Amino acid sequence: MYGLINIGFGNVVVGDRVIAIVNPGSQPLKRLRDVAESQGKLLEVNHGRKTRAFVITDSGHVIASAIQPETITNRFTQNFYDIEKALERIRKEAFNG
């Protein structure tokens, strides 16, 4: 119930498919990137810029983004609150209407 989340440069991901947003600095995550690349499941959407976050999906895809993990997380949170507000408004209209 997160909708589409902007992960930079006009690229979006389906929020409900994301299982982790991580900082790519550690050695295990560098190996994860290599494995995803060898399996054809690495998507680089950073437009040649430094990778600042990996978005990992439930399908095993690893998406390299130039946006900080905290920024992407904040976008998730904001989308969630926006959707909840819209649902609350719809519920009130349906109940009162």
Q: What percent of the chain has pLDDT over 90?
A: 92
Q: What is the pLDDT of residues 15-24, one digit of tens each?
A: 999 999 999 9
d(CA 61, CA 66): 16
85 to each of 25, 67, 79, 97, how far by Cα in Å?
36, 26, 10, 18
Q: Whole-model pTM above 0.75?
A: yes
Q: Which domain holds residue 9?
A: 4-96
> What's the number of domains the chain is made of?
1
> What's the pLDDT tens digit per position in 39-66?
999 999 999 999 999 999 999 999 999 9
